[in-house]
Amino acid sequence: MTHLDDEGRLVDERPWGRFIVLDDQSSDYKIKEIVVTPGKRLSYQTHARRAEHWFVVSGHATAVVDGETYELGPGHSVDINIGQAHRCENHGVDDVRFIEVQTGTYFGEDDIVRLEDDFGRAN
């Protein structure tokens, strides 16, 4: 379900949590806040036209990038290059919140190839 929050920002509810679009006014970057609820994980996915930088704000995330696992707490970050397979997992009891900065040439949600997905959305 997609809706606007009290500040007029786009919020997209997902089966793993939600994202809030913080800035999408530029043609060369987009910024989101991602919230992953406990016990959930994003699909293992790739993008053809964007790279991502994840900066953890709260919670403890497990990031998987091309099969390599990174444990990330508040203040930690990881970079995902165009074409790299990646996902964020929340094995904790608190929400994981991270800021995602996308750079590239296109930022639409249709630039996702889901390789694995817990919710039946794999391509």
DSSP state of 43: P
pLDDT tens, position by position, 96-122: 999 999 999 999 999 999 999 999 999
Q: What is the CA radius of gyration of the chain?
A: 13
Amino acid letter at 10? L
Overall size of the chain counted in residues: 123
Enumerate domains of the chain plus CATH numbers: 2-116 (2.60.120.10)
pLDDT tens, position by position, 27-83: 999 999 999 999 999 999 999 999 999 999 999 999 999 999 999 999 999 999 999
Amino acid letter at 114? R
Q: Is the pLDDT of residue 123 over 90?
A: no
